[in-house]
Amino acid sequence: MPVLGNGDIWEAQDALNMMNQTGCDGVVIGRGCLGRPWLFSDLVDAFAGREVPAPRTLGEVADGMLSHARALVDHYSADVMMKKGKRLDGENFAMRDFRKHASWYLTGYPVGPEVRRRFSLVATIAELEQLLAELDRSAQIVEGGARIRRGHTNGPIKVALPEGFLTADDADSDMTIPDDAREMAISGG
């Protein structure tokens, strides 16, 4: 049975290290790819023994941001989005969704809090294009910037299950649950 490693894969080298150190058969990428979709092509290069590209400049990231936002607009505009019987504006809906991605894309780049705030309010592709044009396209990610956590960063989320979900006190039940099964069901082992 293949075993996959997971956790703290922020750069391609992290995946190689995990596989070499643990002997796992592959890796699972979670938060490490948020705002960094090129991580997957970096992994392909690393696993193929090719040189991984240098970290992307802010200009390259900006190009990716615009492409991502346009794809979201196309997606949401193609679907008829309805709320309370009214058709929703696909661009507006897409840009509201994109805002969280903008924050992830900019993580580790020296853009400042005011620029980040403005990206969190963007409502149209035209506004996004204007903001992206104001960025220093030659800016590099700060040292260690790829390793800055993205997404949920407030510690573990407590698992909530319905009352009695993991108990087998049913008189009709012939199921035997090992002592450690409840913990394994929650934590994965």
Q: With 80 as the cut, is the pLDDT of residue 154 above it?
A: no
DSSP state, 137?
T
**Do 69 and 129 form a contact (C-beta atoms < 8 A)?**
no
Question: What average pLDDT does the segment 9-29 reach?
Answer: 94
Predicted pLDDT at 84: 59
| The token pair that represents 137 in the structure block | 């396209």
Percent of the chain surpassing pLDDT 90: 60
Predicted pLDDT at 148: 83
Q: With 90 as the cut, is the pLDDT of residue 136 above it?
A: yes
Predicted pLDDT at 188: 45
Question: What average pLDDT does the segment 72-92 reach?
Answer: 75
Predicted pLDDT at 76: 85
Percent of the chain surpassing pLDDT 70: 75
DSSP state, 21?
H
Predicted pLDDT at 171: 47
Residues 20, 24, 25, 26, CA torsion sign: negative
Long-range contacts, stretch 42-51, CB < 8 angstroms, 24+ apart: 42/11, 42/12, 43/12, 43/15, 45/12, 46/12, 46/13, 46/15, 46/16, 47/15, 47/16
Mean pLDDT computed over every residue of the chain: 84
Instruction: Say how far apart CA 14 and CA 29 lie, in whole Å.
Output: 11
Amino acid at 27: V
